Chains A and B, each alone.
Chain A
């Protein structure tokens, strides 16, 4: 019964792997991957020297760190706070509403953002103007985008994460909580000494998953928000948008493959490293 899955991953995940060889060639489409001339590490060399790899790496890692740290803090805070609220109706309604952005496509997200901040008739631009200020032309200003992208990412993912953490809180042993209450612990103390420690395994597992993806981006979000607006690349280009663009627009298969391979290999070792580190601290929490 595993045969379909084995075949599926063979075709869509393992078959392309030898194709990563393309990163070491000067790829010619009509010759195919393995008949194209071998050029060794030239593609990597070029990317390093031109500084592109450095910029992509910096953007990708910094965005992901912001997503992971801010995202988890926000999700944990919301989940814990909701848990302390007595009203069931409010809890349910809040969860449903917060979950809503997770359901929509990145294409629509980009339209929502455009609606809010475009210079000519965006909602916020207009609001600022009616208050007598002047809104900067955001779509020409690279420095504004780290904030925008992080905010939009948090907007989209907080509800989902909150529900996951909230589920973990609901599933925990309530007798400890009652004992603490009888002992006279106040809400802060209960959160500090009971809720947070019980959430530790969930946080660590999600953190490990997230660290593994630190060189991967949220391609859909970035590409839809920024698109081919080269004025913003300095602060918005991540590994995946670069690979996609240079493959689809300039057909630069060898170099984009080199970036992709770099991403996979480094990402792989980061997961191994993070997992080994967690295993060293406490074997129970390790992924494998």
Chain B
């Protein structure tokens, strides 16, 4: 008994030591790049050109932020667009996904398997990007409309399957009791089911919010010409990739910019565009992890 006890401890100690070393290294790698962006956004362009990106600004400066705030129109516009899309998209998407998930797990709904396959099939086979692009641009005529971003992200087969698994855990009796009391299906859903779905709504809502907040792909496809204010990430994409648009974002600020602080301005834009989601992160990730836990257990 004594020897087995010691052997067990040894193997555990080895695993613990390895874990602490590897996981800690990985965690440092996860944080460091963010830290570096923040540090370099407060650095002078000169120092970056001389010493490269560093973990602490060699010469501190808030110049790039001053430039951004001198003509904040574009940034504010991007914020309004992104917040608007995220709010509307998440709320509407959440409601639709929950409704679909609820209907599809009702045992008294005869077509549920057929409809589930109809939805699931779209994740197996798709027409590809070109027909989708032509649908939006040529047939629905949504070029340069925010709807081209809002609509396609509302639902996905994966979110519906996830939701369906969550709803399954709610006892069928709740629906039954509602029916006995004479409530319609819709009333049952809103009054009895939704309040019981909080962890599910939090998880799926976060998936949706994240996809809207980080959206740049549909923007790059469909918001190419006319739209004045672009979503945050697409704005950031343009700042990073196109010097011209970088100059535009500070144009009108009445400063003669001979040597635009390109690098630090990129970093400052990145900090501002990412900020809220990172600040929100500690509060929401708890629900996220909890939601994933529930989802995974049920399979």
Contacts and interface: CB of A to CB of B under 8 A. Distances in A.
A123 B126 contact: no
Contact of B131 (A9, A22, A101, A108): A22
B146 interface: no
A243 B129 contact: yes
Contacts of B127: 13, 16-20, 260-261, 264
A187 B15 contact: yes
B22 A81 contact: yes
A281 B16 CA distance: 36
A224 interface: yes
Nearest to B237: A107
Interface in B24-67: 24, 26-27, 29-31, 33-34, 36-37, 40, 48-49, 51-54
Contacts of A112: 33-34, 36-37
B132 interface: yes
A12 interface: yes
Contact of B130 (A106, A219, A257): A257
A264 B124 CA distance: 8
What is the predominant secondary structure among interface residues of chain B facing chain A?
helix
B8 A20 contact: no
A115 B37 contact: yes
A244 interface: yes
Interface string B117-128: 111101111111
Interface string A83-125: 0111000100111111111011111101110111000111101
Given A126-B53, A187-B12, A22 B130 contact: yes
Contacts of B130: 19, 22, 243, 247, 253, 256-257, 260
A20 B15 contact: no
A4 B258 CA distance: 54
Given A81-B18, A100-B281, A107-B236, A1 B186 contact: yes
Nearest to A151: B29
Interface string B97-132: 001101110000000000101111011111111111
B229 interface: no
A264 B125 contact: yes
Contacts of A158: 26
A155 B34 CA distance: 13
A15 interface: yes
Contacts of A106: 214, 216
Given A13-B122, A158-B26, A247 B133 contact: yes
A155 B293 contact: no
B141 interface: no
The size class of the interface chain B forms with chain A is 35 or more
Contacts of A188: 11, 15
A70 interface: no
Interface stretch (B73-81, B194-202, B284-292): B284-292
Interface stretch (B83-91, B148-156, B172-180, B247-255): B148-156
Contacts of A96: 282, 285
A114 B22 CA distance: 25
Contacts of A212: 123-124
A210 interface: no
Contacts of B30: 97-98, 100-101, 155, 159
Contact of B125 (A78, A125, A186, A268): A268
A6 B104 CA distance: 12
Given A13-B122, A20-B128, A158-B26, A163 B289 contact: yes
Interface stretch (A46-54, A57-65, A137-145, A165-173): A165-173
Nearest to B98: A1
Contact of A260 (B51, B129, B155): B129
B292 A97 contact: no
B122 A9 contact: yes
Contacts of B296: 164, 167-168, 171, 202
A103 B118 contact: no
A131 interface: no
B132 A12 contact: yes
A121 B29 contact: no
Interface string B268-294: 001001100110011001001100110
A183 B69 CA distance: 67
Contacts of B16: 84-86
Given A247-B130, A260-B129, A85 B96 contact: no
16 contacts: A1-B186, A8-B155, A17-B126, A81-B18, A95-B289, A104-B214, A105-B213, A107-B234, A120-B49, A121-B48, A123-B52, A167-B293, A220-B217, A253-B130, A257-B130, A263-B128
